Amino acid sequence: QKASGKVLFDLVCSHLNLIEGDYFGLEFQNHRKMMVWLDHIKPIIKQLHRPKRTTLRFSVKFFPPDHAQLLEDLTRYLFALQIKQDLYCGRLTCNGTSAALMVSHIIQCEAPTAVFFAWLKTPKQ
């Protein structure tokens, strides 16, 4: 109950077996209906007014300037999912140059969807 946001975030990254967690965060809708990032330092209970009714969303916090900096296929795959979702929902709009970069992230994603979901279903030890 008094755990910090970092404790929860680390549990999520551990569950996903995600090493490059620095690019991601957990966000939620606050009482003003604005999406905000869960602060890693503050206790969770101080940030969420209705914890049982709050949905936390695992999202990309920032994109590296060069996708070659990403070391893991899982990170690339999660980036591709985020870009596709944001483009689809209209949260992400961009010019032609940026769109080409976004598409390159998606195309260069090396983990096929079926393999990823099979990996998620594999029991963790």
Q: What is the pLDDT of residues 58-95, one digit of tens each?
A: 999 988 888 778 888 888 888 888 887 887 788 878 78
pLDDT of residue 58: 96
Residue length of the chain: 125
Q: Where are the beta strands (DSSP E) in 15-54?
A: 24-29, 35-37
pLDDT in tens, 7-63: 999 999 999 999 999 999 999 998 899 999 999 999 999 999 888 889 999 999 988
pTM: 0.74
What is d(CA 29, CA 15) in angstroms, rounded to the nearest whole number? 23
Burial class (CB in 10 A: 0-12, 13-18, 19+), 5: buried
